Chain A
């Protein structure tokens, strides 16, 4: 069965520094990959998704992610973070084995230090 691992529960980073949030999944057969962001006390909002095509996906708020099939990873990056990026970030995967239901990672809290 598909599983998603977000190894870092929290990532502290200084404002204007780059950041990478890691996401690995267990199966590489025809997967579709998503990153969502959740601001405090709000619902989740789609940041970006990979369905096919270019392995580098650009999303909202200056975020991008790269699909790496050989490493079964879909890491999220931003070259320069702002205080407004403080949120929790969730990686999710869907595939035929899960009937295209989303399988969620545990989430990573991005903490921006001034």
Chain B
């Protein structure tokens, strides 16, 4: 069966520090991968998605970036965090079929102070 992992679960970082959040998927190959953010009182915001290794689509302009160095690994990064980067970050995967369900990881709670 497929599983999705995210780490760390929680993170407190000072403003201006770098960020690296990791997401890995097991039990599937060539998944579509997604990074979402939930800020307090706001819904799901799609940040990035990837249909294959090295293929990243950005949905919103920001100081975040994403990379997919391996088929089942998706990394969210920042060189310098802003206060507004605080939120709950969710990774998700979906199969290649148009009817495939999107499955979510447990999330990372990021607090920027």
Residues of A with Cβ closer than 8 Å to B? 32, 34, 36, 41-46, 49, 51, 90, 92, 94, 100-102, 104-107
Contact = CB atoms under 8 A, between A and B. Distances in A.
24 contacts: A32-B98, A32-B99, A34-B101, A36-B104, A41-B88, A41-B107, A42-B107, A43-B106, A44-B90, A44-B92, A46-B102, A46-B103, A90-B43, A92-B102, A100-B98, A101-B46, A101-B49, A102-B102, A104-B43, A104-B44, A105-B43, A106-B42, A107-B43, A107-B44
Contact of A43 (B42, B49, B101, B105): B105
Determine chain B's interface SS by DSSP, over half rule. strand
Interface in B60-113: 88, 90, 92, 98-99, 101-107, 109
Interface size class of B (residues with CB under 8 A): 10 to 19
B99 A43 contact: no
Given A32-B99, A100-B98, A45 B44 contact: no
Contacts of B90: 43-44
A105 B45 CA distance: 10
A6 to B, nearest CB: 8
A33 to B, nearest CB: 12
